Amino acid sequence: MAENLVVYTVVHQPRRLKLPAQIVPAKTPPEAISDHLFDEALDRRYFEQVAANSYLPASAMFTDLTRRGWKMSIGFSDSFLVQAERWGTKVLDRFKKLCASPNVEVVNVEPYHSWLLYLDIVAFKEAMLAARSRLEELFQKPVAVTDTTEMFMSNDVYFALQQCGFDGAFMEGRDWHLGWREPTHVYQHPLQRLKLLVRHHNLSDDVGYRFSNRHWNHWPLEAGTYAGWVRETWGDLVMVGWDFETFGEHHRRDTGIFEFTRALAKELKKKKVRMMLPSEAVGELGAKRLEVPVNEYGSTWAGEGGMEFFLGNEAQQGLFRLMHHAYSKARLTGDPRLIEIAKWLLQSDNLHLIQWFGRWGPEAEVSAYFTPDEWWELGALGILREQQRVYINFIRALDEYAK
Amino acid sequence: MIVEPQRTVFVILSFEGPDVYSQAGGLGVRVKGLARSLAQFGYQTYLYFCGDPDLPGEESHEAGRLVYRRWCQWISSRHRGGVYDGEEEKIRDWNASLPQNLIDTVIGPAVESGHNVVIMGEEWHTSWSMNLISDSLYYRGLRDRVVILWNANNTFGFHRMDWAALALAATITTVSRYMKFKVWERGHNPIVIPNGIPRESVHDGDPEAVADLKAAAAADHFCFKIGRFDPDKRWLMAVSAAGYIKRHGKRVRLLLRGGREPHGGEVISHAQHQGLNVVHVSAPPEPAGLSAILRQYPEADVVNLTSYVSDPMLGVIYPACDAVLANSGHEPFGLVGLEVMAAGGLAVTGATGEDYADAYRNALVLETDDAIELVTALNLIQQRPRLAAAMRRRGRVTARAYTWEKVIEQLLLRIEFAAAQQAVTIPARAPDEPRVARRRTRKPEASVG
C-alpha cells in the first residue's frame, strides 16, 4: 500500500490574445508588435481575480501547513511570473515566502507554457535551461525536477530533459499508456537516468476536477476518505498533480476546498502517509530502476491523456498550423524579439481554449470554462476566426523583417 | 535456433507451482512436471511461482538444474488461503518486481555466457509480465536471444488481457484444439502443445489393494469423480446418473473428492434429493482405510471424501473403479482423464479439450450433459467387459504418448518455430566450446589465367 504522497501544483496564467484581432500597422517596430497581439488588460483582470480567490489565500494556507509538516512542490510558468511581477508583487512575495520553506520544492516548467517542444526541440531545451536559471535565482533554491507544458512527455522530450541534466520529470499516468504498469512507482525509460514521477490520474482528478461536483457519488469528499484512498492504493507512492488555482479559483472557497486541504494534512498523518518532495521520491524510490518505455506520441494530463485535447478538432489543427508558420517566419527574420513573440504565440492555452469546438461533454465544459467570458460576445465561430486572424496578422507583419 | 541443453535456459512463470500452497488446479501439476522433466533432460530450468510463504525463497533440485523461485511471499504471508488469495496484489507485485530480477539474474548472465533463453508464461496472471519482459529485453538489445511463449491453460481472465500487446511480445500457445478455438475467438491463433504427465504415473497400482477396494465397494457400478466443485465439471450430471441407476434397482457406489467451492453444497443436496445416501469422511492415508470405510457404510451410495487424496491412493482408486467420471462440460485439457488412463483406469471424459480421448477405443466420451448418456455408458462397460478391458489397455498406450518426455519433444520443435517467428538468433559459439586460436593459413595463390 502507498505509504508516500507527492503533491505537485502548477501556477500558470496564460498570455491571452487580443480579440477581436487587430491589424499590425506597417512599420511597427518589433518591440511594439506584442501590443497588437496580446490583451494585457484582460490578463490583468483575470490575474487580480485569481490572486484574490486563490493565490493569496491558498499560499497563506500552504505556508501555514508547511510549518506543520505538509510537503509540496510548485511549478511556475514564466507566463505567470511575468504577470506577477507586473501586477502582483504581493502574490509573488507570498509565493517566495512559501517556497522558502524546506518543505516546498520548486519545479521547473516550460516557461511559455507552449508547444515549442513540438516545433523545435533544441529551442525547447534552451528554454527549459533558461527557466531553471530564472526559478533558481528568483526562489534561491536548486531546481532538480521538471514539468513541461500540460505535463506533456514523449520519448524525444524525455531525452531533451535528460540532456538538460534534470534528475526527475513528471509524466501523466493513464492506463492506455502505462498498460500493465501501475502509476505508483518511480520509473525511468529503459537504461536511462532521468526518473519519472507518474501522476495518479484518478486520485488527482478526485480533488482537481470532481471535488465540487454535487452529482459525483463521492460528493462531498471528506479528507479522511481521500487520505484512506491514498493509503490503500497499491504501490510505492501516489503522485497527485493539480493546478494551483484548484484551491479557491476552480473550486471556490464556499466549496470547502480550504477546509478539506487543512483536514487532509491531519488525516494523512493519522493514516501514516508520508509526504515527500519530488526530489526525495526520485532519490529514495528511484533506486528500484523500474522501467517504462516513454511513448513516442506523447501524453499529457489534459483530456484523455493524448494530444487529442489540443489537436482533436479542425479549428485546433488549423491554429496549430498557423503556430508553425508564425514560428518559422519569425525564425526567418533572425530577430530574437520576433522569435520571442512567436514562442508566446505557441502557448498551449490557445488550443486548449477551443477544444469545445464541435465537442460536448465534460472535457468541452472544462475547455469552455477557460475561454475568457469576454470572447463569447464574438460567438463561437467568431472566436475561432479572430484567433486565427491574430496569427495571420503577425505572419504578415513580419514581411518587412524577413526580406 | 537450436534448442539443446548446452545452450538453452528455460524459465517458467506461473502463479501455481509445486507447493501445496500453490496448487489449485491442473496448472500446478503441469508446471511441476514440465519443469522437472526439462531439468532431467539437462536444461537449466527456473520456475518462478507464488510459493508457500514459509518455505525458502529459492530452492534447488535435480543437482542444481532446477531452481524454484518463490515470488510474492511477502503477500502470501498475509494471504494464507492459497495461491489465488490476494491475487490482485500478487499480480501487481509480480509485474513490478519479477521482470527486472529475471533479466538481471537469469537472462543477462545466460546470454552473456552464450545461452539462449526460453520463457514460458502460464495463464492470464503472467500475461502482462510477458510484455514487460519483452520491452526490457528489447531496450537492452537482448530480445533476439529470448524466445517468449505464453500458454493458455484455461479461459480464466481472458476478458482482462491485452491480447494485441501479448501477441506482439509472445508466441501464444494452448493445450488443446478446443482451447485453440477459444483463443481464436479473441483474434489470435495459438499453437497447440498438449499437457503431459510424469513417466512414473504410468504404472500398476498394488493389485491386492485394487482388488480389495473393488470388493469393498460391492456394487454394480463403482465410480469416482475428482476435481473442483465447479458446475463446468458436471457434478450434477454424475449424481443424477447415480440416482437413476439406484432407482432402477442397481447397486451404485460413487466416491467424490471435490474442493471447498460453494457448488459442493449444491452437489450434495442434489444427491440427497435423488434419493442417494451420502456420508462425509476424511480420506484415509491408505487404500485399506478406504476399503474399511466402504465396508463400514454399506448403505452409503455417495462417499464424499473431505480431505486431500494422495497420489498413491489415487493410483489404487483409478483402476479399482469401473469408471472415473471426468465428464466435464468445459475442459481445457482434462489432465485427470489422462492420469486415469496412466493408472490403468477407465476414464469417462467430456468432449471438449480432451484431445487424447478416442471414444470407445481408449475412453468413454460423453457428447452431451444428459445423465442418461452417462448411464448408458456405464451400462455398456458392465455388459461388455472385454470392450472395457480393451479401452483400459489402449488408454495405457495413450498415456505413454503423453509423458513429458514425448510432449517436450514436441515442445522443442514448436520452440524452433517460435524462435524463427521472433527472429531469435543463434549464439555465434556454443558456450562451453573452447576458444581455440586457429592458425592462419595462407590462401592458395590465385591462378593467373
Q: Which tens digits make up the pLDDT trace of A136-152?
A: 999 999 999 999 999 99
A190: closest CA of chain B, how far (Å): 6
pLDDT score of B432: 54
* Residue A391 DSSP SS3: helix
**Sequence-distant (≥ 6) Cβ neighbours of residue B210 within 8 angstroms:** B287, B316, B319, B320
Give the B-side interface with A, CB within 8 Å: 88-89, 92, 95-96, 100, 127-129, 131-132, 135-136, 138-140, 162, 165
| pLDDT per position as a tens digit, A339-357 | 999 999 999 999 998 988 8
- Chain B residues with CB-CB distance to A234 below 8 A: 88-89, 92
Q: How confident is the model at residue B1 (pLDDT cuts 50, 70, 90)?
A: low
Query: Nearest-CA residue of chain A relative to B139?
Result: A190
Topology annotation, domain A4-291 = 7-stranded beta/alpha barrel (3.20.110)
With a CB cutoff of 8 Å and minimum separation 6, the contacts of A129 are A164
Residue B442 scores a pLDDT above 70: no
Neighbours of B392 (CB within 10 A): 20
Contact: B100, A185; criterion CB under 8 Å: no
Q: Which one of B13, B92, B105, B129 would you mutate to disrupt binding with A, by most A Cβ within 10 Å of its Cβ?
A: B92
Minimal CA–CA distance to B296: which of B208, B217, B212, B214? B217
Closest Cα in chain A, distance from residue B30 (Å): 26
> Which runs of consecutive H residues, i.e. helices, occur in B64-206?
73-76, 87-102, 108-112, 127-139, 163-169, 177-184
Q: Residue B427: what pLDDT?
A: 66
B203 has pLDDT over 60: yes
pLDDT greater than 70 at residue B435: no
Task: Please state the rounded mean pLDDT for residues B175-197.
Answer: 96
pLDDT, position A371: 84
Q: DSSP 3-state assignment of B302?
A: strand
Is the pLDDT reported for residue B147 higher than 50?
A: yes
Q: Give percent of chain B with pLDDT exceeding 70.
A: 94
Work out the number of other CB atoms within 10 angstroms of the CB of residue B367.
Answer: 9
Q: Provide CB contacts within 8 A for B26, sequence distance 6+.
A: B153, B195, B333, B335, B336
Give residue A283's pLDDT.
Answer: 97
Closest alpha carbon within chain B to A178: B132
The residue type of B388 is: A
pTM of the model: 0.82
Note the pLDDT of residue A368: 80
Predicted-complex ipTM score = 0.73
* A234 close contact with B: CB closer than 8 A: yes
pLDDT for residue B449 is more than 50 = no
Say if A290 is an interface residue toward chain B (CB within 8 Å): yes
Q: pLDDT by residue (tens digit) across B90-114? A: 999 999 999 999 999 999 999 999 9
CB contact under 8 A, B136 and A181: no
pLDDT 10s digits, B296-347: 999 999 999 999 899 999 999 999 999 999 999 999 999 999 999 999 999 9
Residue ranges, chain A, pLDDT below 70: none
Chain-wide mean pLDDT for chain A? 95
Closest CA to A285 of A270, A274, A296: A274
Q: How far apart are CA B394 and CA A60, in angstroms?
A: 85
Going from the N-terminus, what domains does chain B have, and what CATH number goes with each?
A: 5-196+403-421 (3.40.50.2000), 200-401 (3.40.50.2000)
For residue B445, pLDDT beyond 70: no
3-state secondary structure at position B365: strand
Residues of B in contact with A293 (CB under 8 A): 135, 139
At residue A386, the 3 state secondary structure works out as: helix
User: Cβ B162–A179 below 8 Å, yes or no?
Assistant: yes
pLDDT at B443: 43
User: What residue of B is the nearest CA neighbor of A176?
Assistant: B162
In which band, very low, low, confident or very high, does the pLDDT at B429 lie, cut at 50, 70 and 90?
low
> Which set of grid coordinates corresponds to residue A274?
508520508
**What is the residue-wise DSSP string for A102-166?**
TTEEEEB--TT-BSHHHH-HHHHHHHHHHHHHHHHHHHTS---EE--STT-B-HHHHHHHHHHT-
Q: What is the mean pLDDT of residues B121-132?
A: 96
- Could you give the CA distance from residue B113 to residue B185 in angstroms, rounded to a whole number? 41
Q: Which residues on chain A are in Cβ contact (under 8 Å) with B129?
A: 180
To the nearest whole Å, the CA of B389 is away from the closest chain A CA by 52
Out of A180, A191, A234, name the one closest to residue B140 (CB). A191
CA–CA dist B175, B153 (Å, integer): 6
Q: Do A369 and A251 meet the contact criterion of CB atoms below 8 Å apart?
A: no
What residue spans in chain A does CATH classification 3.20.110.20 cover?
A: 4-291
Distance, CA of B449 to CA of B438 (rounded, Å)? 31
Question: What per-residue confidence (pLDDT) applies to B438?
Answer: 40
Nearest neighbour of B100 by CB, restricted to A179, A289, A293: A289
Q: Residue B5 corresponds to which amino acid?
A: P
- Does the pLDDT value for residue B23 go beyond 60? yes
- What is residue A359's predicted lDDT score, i.e. its pLDDT? 77
For A192, name the nearest residue in chain B, comparing CA atoms only: B139
- Separation of alpha carbons B2 and B243, rounded Å: 56
pLDDT tens digits, one per residue of B42-84: 999 999 999 999 999 999 999 999 999 999 999 999 999 999 9
Asked if B6 contacts B432 with a C-beta cutoff of 8 angstroms, the reply is yes
Confidence (pLDDT) at A366: 78
Q: Is the Cβ pair B100, A290 closer than 8 Å?
A: yes
The Cα–Cα gap between B270 and B306 comes to: 17
Query: What distance in Å separates residue B139's CA from the closest CA in chain A?
Result: 6
> pLDDT tens digit string along B338-390?
999 999 999 999 999 999 999 999 999 999 999 999 999 999 999 999 999 99
| Alpha carbon distance A390, A208 (integer Å) | 32
- Residue B447: predicted pLDDT: 39
* Per-residue pLDDT, B24: 85
Testing the interface with B: which of A1, A159, A180, A296 to mutate, by most B Cβ within 10 A?
A180
User: And the C-alpha cell for A112?
Assistant: 511559455
Binning pLDDT at 50, 70 and 90, where does residue B431 land?
Answer: low
Per the structure block, which three cell numbers stand in for A185? 512507482
Closest CA to B291 of B205, B210, B204: B210
Name the residue of chain B whose CA is nearest to A185's CA: B96
